[in-house]
Amino acid sequence: MSSPLRILNDRGIALYRDYLDALRGGRECEPPLELLTDPWCSARLPLEIPVEARDFPNKLALGKYLNEALRLLPHAQVERQVGLWSWLTLFYSDQVCPVSRYGRRAPGPHYRYILDLDFRRFNRHLLLGPYYACKLHGESAALLLYGPVHQTNQFFIELTSRQALFTNRGVIEAAAILYYDPKTGRAKRGAGTNDKPGTLRRFIDVVQQLDLTHDLFSMRGGDVVALLPGEFDPWKERAKAQKSFLRKLFKK
Amino acid sequence: MIRRFNFTGRRKIPRSRLSIFHYATPDGVPAFDAALDLASLALPPESKIFIEAYRRNYLRRFACGTVAQPRWPRGQTLDGLDALSFVLFRVKVVDGRGRILAAADRILPRRSEEEEAGKRYLLPVEFADLGNVIWRLDLEGEWPSLLLNSRIDPIREIARADESFRALVYPEVVRQILHHIVIVEDHTDPDTDPDDWMSLWLRFALSLMGRKALPPSGGDDQVVLDKGRWIDDAVDAFCASQHVVERFVQHHQADD
């Protein structure tokens, strides 16, 4: 089933916020889906953009779908449209705020559903974040976007909170080479452990140092990986072994 | 006192060699012109030049040819940015292996033709929906900026010309910025990095005070008290330079 994309207006956003507040206050209520089409609470777009009600296995699939669905809208107009992203999160309520096994919806902070233009929370929107990561990095965003739509993984939080890293293709590709396991579709075990050599936090520290001396923007992921010091060798070895395994599999 | 050493081996491109002009096209689209004089840096002619425009999670990168054959942007639009937004620039000269040979960062562009060459503006103003708050100082970004509530229709005119606003808001802005620099960051040496915003603000404060007495450095209780007094003196000097009290009184007498 598909619906034409609309934009929640101030009134629609306020009512959506009331609904989220009610849920957070412990009340049980269904998403106010009527706002999606109510002309007092939402407006049509000049262009008809159909969006499908469907389940996404992970945020990467969601990000790809949104990039495809919104391709006719200029990115500059889309990315700061609070009403558009709020409409979409309400539309995908069952994905962004699913009913738990205890039969309740438990929403997180508002910025996950209603786009907050403050740069510290901007990418934390549950739909814009995957859309933006996919737009910037394509398949290399897999490390940032594994896991269900309503959960934000540690790699996404750490890497998107640093603008210079998040917007850098080579760096995100390097992180994916080192830490993403395509077999499991998740991060490699131990990659996010704090204070261990070669793990995510150290990757961020080292890359920020390299950024002072190297133009990481002009590098591919492999080039960035090659610059990393010895403590990353075990991760590099694993990445190499994985690559040759995949190559053999592909040949077979 | 914080001293910084350059262990990176890369050269610094002096601001005097850079000219970046940021403006809005007649259609309201932000654009910029840039030109650099790299001749005196003796860089390898085949080195590539890149200019990056950035602020927070916005980044656009432009390849500008090589040192031997530069292609300076003229009328280069910055898509995805409001015409009123302020943006910073960074310039990199890079060798064939991706190493940075020379760079300049946190470059505030000139914003109008009238702006004097060489004159730097210290406090960009931005407009944002601040809810019920009229103004806020943003010290989280790469450069401090004054945020004004875009819900208030004539806020631009008020901030520019309203004597009450100027008298009550700007001294507090100066105080908050100096507090952040001197007490929070313990940055007390204006010569650390001549292009760093904290150093520029410290030099601005010293020039207002007409003396060379730097704020003390450290975090002891007594030192923090002395820093507070230094900030009080700087704010007082700022108010004196702007004739804040006289203008405020005259404005209110005129109203009566």
- What would the pLDDT profile of B45-60 be if each residue is shown by its tens digit? 999 999 999 887 788 8
What global pTM score does this model have?
Answer: 0.76
Across the interface, of A74, A119, A212, the residue whose CB is closest to B57 is A119
B81 contacts on A by Cβ (under 8 Å): 76
If one counts every other C-beta atom within 10 angstroms of the C-beta of residue A13, the result is 22
The Cα of B160 is separated from the nearest Cα of chain A by a number of Å equal to 25
The Cα of A69 is separated from the nearest Cα of chain B by a number of Å equal to 19
Is residue B95, in this structure, part of any structural domain at all? yes
Q: Mean pLDDT over residues B122-139, rounded? A: 85
Q: Do B136 and B242 fall into the same domain?
A: yes
DSSP state letter for A53: -
Residue B245: exposure state from Cβ atoms within 10 A (0-12, 13-18, ≥19) = exposed
**Which of B6, B54, B57 is the best residue to mutate to test the A interface, defined by the most A CB atoms within 10 Å of its own CB?**
B57
Q: What is the pLDDT of residue A249?
A: 64
Q: Which amino acid is at B28?
A: G
How far is A216 from B100, CA to CA, in rounded Å? 9
Q: Do A100 and A111 fall into the same domain?
A: yes
Q: Do B136 and B69 fall into the same domain?
A: no
Is residue B35, in this structure, part of any structural domain at all? yes
Cβ(B72)–Cβ(B63) below 8 Å: no
- What would the pLDDT profile of B90-119 be if each residue is shown by its tens digit? 999 999 888 999 999 888 888 765 555 556
A218 contacts on B by Cβ (under 8 Å): 48, 50, 94, 98
Produce one character per residue of A36-52: b if its CB has 16 or more CB atoms within 10 Å, e if not: bebeebbeeeeeebebe
Q: Do B92 and B136 fall into the same domain?
A: no
Q: Do B74 and B161 fall into the same domain?
A: no
B59 contacts on A by Cβ (under 8 Å): 163-164, 167
- Say if the Cβ atoms of B57 and A163 lie within 8 Å: yes
Q: What is the pLDDT of residue B4?
A: 53
Q: Do A65 and A12 fall into the same domain?
A: yes
Using DSSP bridges, classify how beta strands B125-128 and B145-149 pair: parallel, antiparallel or unpaired.
parallel
Q: Do B56 and B94 fall into the same domain?
A: yes
Please state, rounded to an integer, the average pLDDT across all residues of chain B: 85
A75 contacts on B by Cβ (under 8 Å): 80
Q: Is the pLDDT of residue B87 over 90?
A: no
Is residue B76, in this structure, part of any structural domain at all? yes
- What would the pLDDT profile of B188-239 be if each residue is shown by its tens digit? 888 877 678 888 899 899 988 887 688 888 888 899 999 999 999 999 999 9
Is residue B194, in this structure, part of any structural domain at all? yes
Is residue B4, in this structure, part of any structural domain at all? no
The set of long-range contacts for B153-159, using a CB threshold of 8 Å and a minimum separation of 24, is B155/B127, B156/B127, B159/B125, B159/B135
Q: Is the pLDDT of residue B62 over 80?
A: yes
Q: Do A48 and A173 fall into the same domain?
A: no
Nearest residue of A to residue B29 by CA position? A76
Domain containing A69 equals 1-150
Q: Do B73 and B186 fall into the same domain?
A: no
Domain containing B30 equals 11-107
CATH number, domain with residue B24: 2.60.40
Q: Do A30 and A88 fall into the same domain?
A: yes
Q: Do B57 and B159 fall into the same domain?
A: no
B52 contacts on A by Cβ (under 8 Å): 217
Within chain A, residue ranges assigned H as helices are: 10-24, 59-69, 75-78, 82-91, 93-96, 128-137, 154-160, 163-166, 169-179, 200-213, 221-227, 233-251
Q: Do A131 and A158 fall into the same domain?
A: no
Q: Do A123 and A166 fall into the same domain?
A: no
How far is B109 from B29, CA to CA, in rounded Å? 16
Within B87-186, residue ranges assigned H as helices are: 155-161, 163-178
Is residue B135, in this structure, part of any structural domain at all? yes
Q: Token pair of A21, please? A: 């507040």
Is residue B119, in this structure, part of any structural domain at all? no
Q: Do A167 and A45 fall into the same domain?
A: no
- Say if the Cβ atoms of A218 and B80 lie within 8 Å: no
Q: Do A2 and A58 fall into the same domain?
A: yes
Final residue in a domain of this structure, among A131, A150, A169: A150
Q: Do A44 and A28 fall into the same domain?
A: yes
On whether ipTM exceeds 0.90, the answer is no
Q: Do B99 and B30 fall into the same domain?
A: yes
% of chain B at pLDDT higher than 70? 90
Q: Do B90 and B179 fall into the same domain?
A: no
B210 φψ region: left (φ > 0), alpha (ψ -120 to 50), beta (else) = left
Final residue in a domain of this structure, among A108, A127, A150: A150
Final residue in a domain of this structure, among B44, B73, B107: B107
Q: Do A113 and A81 fall into the same domain?
A: yes
For residue A102, give Cα distances in angstroms to A28, A31, A98, A106. 12, 17, 11, 10
- What would the pLDDT profile of B163-189 be if each residue is shown by its tens digit? 899 999 999 999 999 999 999 989 888
- Token look-up 């006289």 returns B246
Produce one character per residue of A134-153: b if its CB has 16 or more CB atoms within 10 Å, e if not: bbbbbebbbbbbbbbbbebb
Across the interface, of B54, B57, B79, the residue whose CB is closest to A122 is B57
Q: Do B102 and B217 fall into the same domain?
A: no
The Cα of B21 is separated from the nearest Cα of chain A by a number of Å equal to 22
Q: What is the pLDDT of residue A117?
A: 81
- What would the pLDDT profile of A144-200 be if each residue is shown by its tens digit? 999 999 999 999 999 998 888 998 999 999 999 999 998 899 999 988 888 788 999
Q: Is the pLDDT of residue B1 over 50?
A: no
A120 contacts on B by Cβ (under 8 Å): 140
- Say if the Cβ atoms of A218 and B50 lie within 8 Å: yes
Across the interface, of B54, B92, B128, the residue whose CB is closest to A215 is B92
Is residue B38, in this structure, part of any structural domain at all? yes
Q: Do A189 and A76 fall into the same domain?
A: no
Final residue in a domain of this structure, among B73, B107, B141: B107
Final residue in a domain of this structure, among A128, A150, A172: A150
B254 φψ region: left (φ > 0), alpha (ψ -120 to 50), beta (else) = alpha
The Cα of B80 is separated from the nearest Cα of chain A by a number of Å equal to 4
Q: Do B26 and B83 fall into the same domain?
A: yes
∠ Cα A180 A206 A188 (to 5°): 15
Total number of domains in chain A? 2
Q: Do A180 and A132 fall into the same domain?
A: no
The residue ranges of chain A whose pLDDT is under 70 are: 245-252
Q: Do B171 and B249 fall into the same domain?
A: yes
A165 contacts on B by Cβ (under 8 Å): none
For residue A176, give Cα distances in angstroms to A187, A200, A205, A225, B224. 8, 11, 16, 10, 46
Cβ(B141)–Cβ(B56) below 8 Å: yes
